[in-house]
């Protein structure tokens, strides 16, 4: 539950992660420290914070269980040192010998795990130019939506491809989320076409602030990600936007704006259950008379 204040400073860390977990964490730590020095209470990193990899065998070779995870231990210690809420966009967490979860962690200023969320929707797509992804070959999807209470308001968790499934965000908002997190690693191809409009739509539909840290640029494995981390208001305004390079962005958030947006357009209260009717809109072929 909130403890009184409804205002906080949010910071998004944009990365360009590669195949070395140690190097990725060094880059992330430096930028997280910059965010904390800038006065952020809440800092979010992108999907694939510790490892950007497409080959299943490379992911499986480096993934650890949550109890063993060296990246998680290092980031927990950092949150504790900096006294921030650190939202780790995702880490590969081994759940059995052949599968991992893409798991997001919300860490408290004491370094504890306040919430964890496993990505619900797997990115199995074939794009133009032969670009193809099959996350379900080695990632195991989650089965539970998650909200978490910060000192200033309620946070709804999601990851990247979840962005394309609006029912998830309506459910998070219905559970009181006024802040929506969408740490991501959008491809450049899909990002150029859809990133801004989808992030803004989720904010408008829910009347929530959307905080979406992402990866950007050409990665060591050859993948191109779009960048353009975004903080969007409940009215759909882009408050701050990154470019393509690694860096840090900030926004001062007043959650009274969420209350105001939901009062102006109370769509969350107006939703109705409904059935679907299938109408026959074209004539049936004429039946031949028996001869």
Expressed as residue numbers, the domain containing 189 is: 7-270
pLDDT in tens, 42-61: 999 999 999 988 788 888 89
Check which CATH number belongs to the domain holding 93 and give it. 3.60.110.10
The total of structural domains in the chain comes to 1
How far is it, in rounded angstroms, from Cα 90 to Cα 181?
12
pLDDT of residue 38: 98
Residues that are catalytic: 47, 119, 160
Q: How would you write the chain as a 3-class SS string?
A: CCCCCCEEEEEEEEECCCCCHHHHHHHHHHHHHHHHHCCCCEEECCCCCCCCCCCHHHHHHHCECCCCCHHHHHHHHHHHHHCCEEEEEEEEEEEECCEEEEEEEEECCCCCEEEEEECCCCCEEECHHHCEEEHHHCECCCCCCCEEECCCCEEEECCHHHHHCHHHHHHHHHCCCCEEECCECCEHHHHHHHHHHHHHHHHHHHCCEEEECEEEEECCCCCEEECCCEEECCCCCEEEECCCCCEEEEEEEECHHHHHHHHHCCHHHHCCCCCCCCCCCCCCCCCCCCC
For residue 279, is it within any domain? no
For residue 264, is it within any domain? yes
For residue 71, is it within any domain? yes
pLDDT in tens, 196-254: 999 999 999 999 999 999 999 999 888 899 999 999 999 999 999 999 999 999 999 99
pLDDT of residue 286: 66
For residue 290, is it within any domain? no
For residue 114, is it within any domain? yes
For residue 286, is it within any domain? no
Distances 40 to 47, 215, 240 between C-alpha atoms, Å: 20, 20, 14
Q: Is pLDDT at 1 greater than 50 in this prediction? A: no
For residue 176, is it within any domain? yes
For residue 199, is it within any domain? yes
């Amino acid at each position: 539950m909130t403890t009184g204040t409804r205002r906080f400073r949010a910071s998004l860390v944009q990365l360009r992660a590669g195949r070395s977990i140690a190097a990725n964490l060094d880059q992330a730590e430096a930028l997280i420290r910059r965010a904390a020095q800038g006065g952020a209470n809440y800092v979010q990193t992108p999907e694939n914070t510790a490892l950007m990899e497409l080959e299943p065998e490379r992911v499986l070779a480096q993934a650890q269980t949550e109890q063993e995870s060296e990246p998680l231990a290092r980031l927990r210690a950092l949150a504790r040192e900096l006294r921030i809420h650190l939202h780790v966009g995702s880490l590969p967490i081994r759940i059995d010998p052949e599968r991992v979860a893409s798991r997001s962690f919300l860490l408290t200023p004491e370094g504890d795990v306040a919430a964890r969320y496993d990505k619900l929707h797997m990115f199995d797509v074939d794009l133009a130019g032969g670009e193809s992804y099959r996350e379900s070959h080695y990632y195991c999807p989650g089965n539970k939506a998650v909200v978490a209470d910060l000192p200033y308001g309620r946070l709804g968790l999601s990851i990247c491809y979840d962005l394309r499934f609006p029912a998830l965000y309506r459910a998070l908002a219905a559970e009181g989320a006024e802040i929506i997190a969408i740490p991501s690693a959008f491809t450049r191809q899909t990002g150029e076409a859809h990133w801004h409009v989808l992030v803004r739509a989720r904010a408008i539909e829910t009347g929530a602030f959307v905080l979406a840290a992402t990866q950007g640029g050409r990665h060591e494995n050859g993948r191109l990600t779009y960048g353009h981390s975004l903080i969007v208001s409940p009215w759909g305004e882009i408050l701050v936007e990154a470019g393509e390079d690694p860096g840090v962005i900030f926004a001062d958030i007043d959650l009274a704006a969420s209350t105001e947006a939901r009062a102006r357009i109370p769509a969350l209260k107006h939703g109705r259950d409904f059935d679907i009717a299938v109408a026959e809109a074209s004539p049936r072929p004429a039946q031949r008379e028996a001869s």
